[in-house]
Structure 1
Amino acid sequence: MKIDEIRALNDEELSKRLEEAHQELFNLRFRLATRQLANHREIPKVKKRIARMKTLIRERELDIG
């Protein structure tokens, strides 16, 4: 998910997507621990997506305040 796509989301949808990304990261880590994860490169991608979302949430908080 690109930053432009993330910026297009409203706050509620962004929070929902962030929660989904956290759940996906949990599942990927679990699959890695049980050696069921074929592509380990997915973990950093999800972590970066989470960071982008959190950054955007923080930017919106600072603009409001």
Structure 2
Amino acid sequence: MNATDLREKTPDQLRDQLVQLKKEAFNLRFQQATGQLENTARMRTVKRDAARVLTILNEKATAAAGEAN
């Protein structure tokens, strides 16, 4: 997932993607706890992708607040 691709999306699309990533992270944590997780590196990428989406959402919110003033 690229930050440039995320910047092209609307805030609603970003929120939907964040929900999906959080669900996936939950499922991965559950799999790890039960010993069924095969690809441990996926946890790291999901967490980083979620952080990336949050960063872009915050950038968009700051830009919108700056334009309102």
TM-score (norm 2): 0.89
| Whole-angstrom distance in 2 between the partners of 1:61 and 1:44 | 26
Q: How does 1:1-65 map to 2 (within 5 A)?
A: 1-65=1-65
Deviation at 1:26, TM superposition (A): 0.2
Number of equivalenced pairs: 65
Question: SS of the counterpart of 1:9?
Answer: coil
Tell which structure's C-alpha radius of gyration is larger: 2
State the identity %. Answer: 32
Q: Deviations over 1:19-49 (max 9, x none)?
A: 0000000000000111111011110100000
Runs of at least 5 residues in structure 2 that lack an aligned partner in the other structure: none
Question: SS of the counterpart of 1:48?
Answer: helix
Letter in 2 for 1:39: N
Runs of at least 5 residues in structure 1 that lack an aligned partner in the other structure: none
TM-score (norm 1): 0.94
